[in-house]
């Protein structure tokens, strides 16, 4: 029996190697993409977590402020608290670097205390100059920062306000992780040089041995909350909760990429199904003969499952190896974040993970086995006496025409599409898409029967009194109308590939067009001026703001101040933006979503929150909220919700006048200049360049900002475009494989047609029309299904993943191009396979028939 099994398997693969290779390749592509994305993100997150742990050292408790900085007066209270052995003050901030779009992270420490808690943050002075550690004009750079900045003459130039600060590089930080761009300097020098006297970012606490950290943390939280309500966050560094907040920034992106990668695997599953189904149909009489000769149905079932198992093993093994290679190449050429910016500042190395490899390998094998399960069961159940006769191929797949399982899947998909997210991930949305695909593919035999029987009746009625009507069309429609199950197999391949491609194309196009429209709405000014592209140390003083507002041709100057605040433990900080917003008509400057509310007299000041704040913090219009500003909690009222594509972690906008009244800060981060009707932007820009601090400014027009933003979008979605292209290629191969297999399996049918007088050219015409008709129906159905799936992606998956909404936009040129490729591929494949089927002559083709 083992010899017979091996002979049957190898014989089938030798007879039709291309079909087996296409099925193996489809599984391999799906597994390799999914496994590669897993390895890349696992390596990036592990390296990112290791970098965070290096900055936290061996601290037991960390005290952080809800604002970026807090008064250092609390330090003695914490340092003298019972159970605290060492309290290490830390000042950390993003320093603006002139001419760079990214900032340098500077960490100010007390070297005498940091040595006990964060030894990785102790610099090694060059030339053993110990005094450089406490000097007021020195800093220590990590190897990655040194490579990035390339300090000339040992000096680093940074920006403070609109001025420049030059610091001397005193040595290196050998404890920094690869790719980590940080600098360390004395905390007193950092406070002085960067105008942050009396301010800290966090305090690291080392507890006495035997002290219960949980009890200490709970007591400290209670104490600080009573004395300084809403001002501090207490956490244990390096624990799962803190790491999960970092990991959450990329989790939705990683899950979406993985699902898109598994699209190829889903297509591979269907290719296995179509390959095995058509193979079983073609060998139906051979299996019946084996049954007559003594092979029982269980061994026959096992034989067909072994064929699918071999396809799955081969595809999964190739996919695992290719996935590891893809991950290594992607980390080398694209970086750890695949262009999305979630894991900047780390340089991870890919590591092979046996558990993940085993899971993806098992997934590929399971997909292959599921793909061949239905054909295997049908072959085992077939009665030998019936299966030995030709003409029973359509009955072999009759169970596929049952509609109720597919209708149940689609009804369940509709219900799941309305379900809320789980762990802030649209898991039910993805399950809904999978059920829609399964249900639609299951309905294809019934749909093919309805459509082509109706077409056959219409054609018959129209040609009833026309003796010269085309026999080719009549034969084609008759065959399609009476062999709906086999037609459904071919339609399923077109449907699965085209619908997923349509859905992905609509989603990406909708996001891209919505982003462009959003930029047009939020960039109404003529010129935008900022003090730096990155970092938080640059800014405009009141006198400099007045000079910008007085530039020739300027009608209004809208100044902006941004900072971050923490609203909840375990979540990343949200962005607070202060600018001139018209409370009576906020939609002039904000992309308002839904209703707005004008604050009544005596009510708290208004704020406008992004859509992410609604999902993550449960905020709604009219709600009263409290925000930490100037060392205290201040009441505000949510006056509206707006769309923000730039910051998925959440944004709050408030009026600049309210911000300045509460905090007393007069500095601004950027300004939007609206010109007078007769003013020319080039004249204003020329005058701006003559300002004494012009070298510290970065001026751009809205068109330049839009172009740069769309370039960043395309870079972030480069991997998505790649996955979409792979899905299209696999779809084309799938259509070609399905039609070629179906055509080669009909050699006897073509031989009989040749016997009754149908010419070779007419048979090829029948095949071309069949391929075009089936593909056209698959394209129409696939477009409808893809459009429905895109609705779930646009209005369910994306809002639940990234907490923003968008409008639906259709990429008609791309859809038309791919539809044309599929039509051409189907017709060409049918013709080429038909020529091969007709090459043996009609007598040879029907010699086994009776």
Residue-wise pLDDT for 397-431, tens only, equals 556 567 888 999 999 999 999 999 988 889 899 89
User: CB of 90 within 8 A of CB of 187?
Assistant: yes
User: CB of 144 within 8 A of CB of 179?
Assistant: yes
Residue 612: the pLDDT is: 94
CA–CA separation, 581 and 560 (whole Å): 11
Mean confidence (pLDDT) of the chain: 84
Looking from the CA of 444 toward its CB, the CA atoms found within 13 Å total 29
561 vs 825, higher pLDDT: 561
Listed in sequence order, the residues at least 6 apart from 80 whose beta carbon sits closer than 8 Å to its beta carbon are none
- With cut-offs at 50, 70 and 90, classify the pLDDT of residue 462: confident
Domain ranges of the chain: 1-54+245-396, 58-237, 397-525+701-850, 527-700
Residue-wise pLDDT for 70-129, tens only, equals 999 999 999 999 999 999 999 999 999 998 888 999 999 999 999 999 998 999 998 878
Lowest-confidence pick of 137-146, 510-519, 821-830: 821-830
Residue-wise pLDDT for 383-404, tens only, equals 776 666 655 555 555 565 678 8
Q: Helix 812-837 vs helix 760-792: angle between axes, to the nearest 10 degrees?
A: 150
pTM of the predicted structure, to 2 decimals: 0.85
User: CB of 300 within 8 A of CB of 291?
Assistant: yes
Listed in sequence order, the residues at least 6 apart from 173 whose beta carbon sits closer than 8 Å to its beta carbon are 120, 121, 123, 124, 140, 141, 142, 143, 182, 183, 184
- Across the range 551-573, mean pLDDT stands at 92
Nearest Cα neighbor of 187 from 81, 60, 323, 90 is 90
Is 624's pLDDT higher than 60?
yes
Residue-wise pLDDT for 479-495, tens only, equals 888 766 666 666 776 78
Q: Please, which residues bridge with residue 762 across strands?
A: none
Residue 712: the pLDDT is: 79
Is 257's pLDDT higher than 90?
no
If you ran DSSP here, which 8-state letter would residue 398 be given? G
Residue-wise pLDDT for 762-803, tens only, equals 888 888 888 888 888 888 999 999 999 999 999 999 899 889
Residue-wise pLDDT for 199-253, tens only, equals 999 999 999 998 999 999 999 999 999 999 989 999 887 554 444 444 555 566 6
Is 555's pLDDT higher than 90?
yes
Residue-wise pLDDT for 707-746, tens only, equals 988 987 887 777 667 766 776 676 666 666 666 666 766 6
Residue-wise pLDDT for 163-203, tens only, equals 999 999 999 999 888 778 999 999 999 999 999 999 999 99
User: CB of 469 within 8 A of CB of 463?
Assistant: yes
Residue 770: the pLDDT is: 83
570 vs 646, higher pLDDT: 646
Residue 476: the pLDDT is: 86
Burial status of residue 101 (CB atoms within 10 A of its CB: 0-12, 13-18, 19 or more)? exposed
């Amino acid at each position: 029996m083992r010899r017979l099994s091996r002979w049957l398997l190898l014989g089938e693969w030798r007879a039709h190697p291309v079909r087996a290779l296409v099925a193996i390749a489809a599984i391999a592509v799906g597994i390799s993409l999914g496994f590669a994305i897993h390895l890349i993100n696992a390596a990036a997150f592990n390296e990112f977590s290791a970098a965070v742990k290096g900055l936290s050292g061996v601290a037991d408790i960390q005290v952080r402020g809800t604002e970026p900085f807090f008064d250092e007066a609390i330090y003695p209270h914490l340092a003298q608290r019972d159970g605290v052995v060492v309290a290490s003050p830390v000042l950390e901030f993003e320093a603006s670097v002139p001419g760079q779009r990214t900032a340098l992270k500077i960490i100010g420490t007390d070297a005498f205390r940091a040595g006990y808690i964060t030894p990785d943050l102790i610099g090694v002075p060059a030339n053993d100059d110990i005094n450089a550690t406490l000097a007021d004009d020195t800093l220590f750079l990590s190897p990655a920062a040194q490579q990035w900045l390339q300090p000339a003459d040992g000096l680093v130039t940074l920006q403070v306000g609109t001025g420049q600060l030059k610091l001397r590089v005193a040595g290196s930080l050998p404890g920094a992780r690869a790719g980590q761009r940080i600098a360390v300097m004395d905390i007193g020098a950092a406070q002085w040089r960067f105008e942050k006297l009396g301010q800290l970012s966090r305090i690291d606490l080392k507890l006495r041995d035997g002290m219960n950290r949980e009890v200490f943390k709970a007591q400290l939280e209670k104490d600080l909350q009573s004395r300084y309500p809403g001002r501090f966050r207490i956490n244990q560094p390096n624990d799962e909760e803190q790491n999960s907040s970092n990991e959450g920034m990329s989790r939705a992106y990683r899950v979406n990429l993985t699902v898109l990668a598994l699209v190829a695997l889903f297509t591979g599953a269907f290719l296995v199904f179509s390959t095995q189904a058509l193979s079983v149909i073609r060998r139906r009489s051979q299996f019946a003969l084996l049954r007559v000769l003594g092979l029982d149905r269980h061994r026959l079932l096992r034989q067909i499952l072994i064929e699918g198992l071999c396809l799955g093993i081969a595809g999964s093994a190739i996919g695992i190896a290719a996935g590891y290679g893809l991950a290594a190449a992607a980390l080398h050429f694209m970086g750890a974040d695949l262009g999305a910016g979630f894991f900047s500042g780390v340089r991870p190395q890919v590591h092979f993970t046996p558990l993940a490899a085993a899971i993806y390998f098992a997934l590929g094998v399971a997909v292959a086995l599921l793909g061949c399960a239905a054909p295997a069961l049908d072959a085992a159940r077939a009665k030998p006496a019936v299966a030995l006769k030709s003409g029973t191929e359509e009955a072999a797949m009759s169970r596929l025409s049952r509609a109720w399982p597919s209708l149940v899947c689609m009804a369940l998909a509709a219900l799941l599409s309305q379900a809320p997210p789980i762990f802030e991930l649209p898991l039910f949305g993805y399950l809904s898409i999978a059920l829609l695909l399964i249900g639609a593919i299951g309905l294809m035999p019934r749909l093919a029967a309805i459509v082509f029987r109706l077409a056959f009746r219409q054609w018959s009625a129209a040609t009833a009194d026309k003796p010269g009507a085309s026999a080719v069309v009549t034969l084609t429609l008759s065959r399609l109308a009476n062999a709906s199950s086999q037609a459904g197999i071919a339609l399923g391949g077109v449907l699965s590939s085209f619908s997923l491609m349509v859905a992905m194309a609509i989603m990406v196009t909708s996001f891209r067009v919505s982003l462009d429209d959003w930029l047009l709405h939020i960039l109404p000014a003529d010129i935008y001026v900022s003090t730096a592209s990155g970092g938080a140390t640059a800014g405009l003083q009141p006198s400099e703001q007045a000079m910008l507002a007085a530039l020739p041709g300027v009608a209004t100057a809208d100044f902006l101040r941004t900072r971050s605040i923490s609203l909840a433990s375990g979540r990343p900080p949200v962005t607070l933006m202060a600018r001139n917003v018209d409370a009576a008509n906020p939609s002039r400057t904000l992309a308002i979503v839904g209703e707005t509310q004008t604050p009544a007299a005596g009510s708290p000041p208004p704020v406008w929150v992004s859509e992410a704040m609604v999902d993550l913090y449960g905020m709604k219009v009219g709600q009263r909220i409290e925000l930490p500003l100037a060392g205290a909690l201040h009441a505000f009222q949510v006056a509206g919700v707006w769309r923000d594509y730039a910051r998925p972690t959440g944004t709050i906008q408030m009026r600049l006048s309210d911000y300045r009244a509460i905090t007393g800060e007069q500095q601004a981060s950027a300004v939007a200049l609206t010109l007078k009707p007769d003013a020319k932007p080039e004249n204003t820009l020329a005058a701006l360049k003559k300002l004494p601090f012009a070298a510290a400014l970065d001026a751009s027009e809205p068109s330049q900002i839009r172009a740069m933003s769309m370039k960043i979008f395309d870079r972030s979605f480069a991997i998505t475009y790649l996955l979409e292209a792979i899905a299209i290629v696999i779809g084309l191969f799938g259509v070609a494989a399905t039609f070629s297999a179906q055509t080669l399996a009909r050699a006897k049918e073509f031989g009989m047609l040749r016997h009754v007088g149908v010419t070779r050219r007419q048979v090829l015409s029948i095949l071309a029309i069949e391929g075009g008709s089936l593909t056209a129906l698959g394209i129409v159905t696939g477009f409808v299904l893809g459009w429905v799936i895109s609705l779930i992606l646009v209005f369910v998956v994306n809002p639940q993943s990234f907490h923003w909404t968008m409008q639906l936009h259709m990429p008609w040129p791309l859809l038309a191009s791919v539809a044309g490729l599929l039509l051409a591929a189907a017709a060409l494949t049918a013709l080429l396979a038909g020529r091969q089927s007709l090459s043996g002559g009609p007598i040879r083709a029907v010699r086994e028939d009776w």
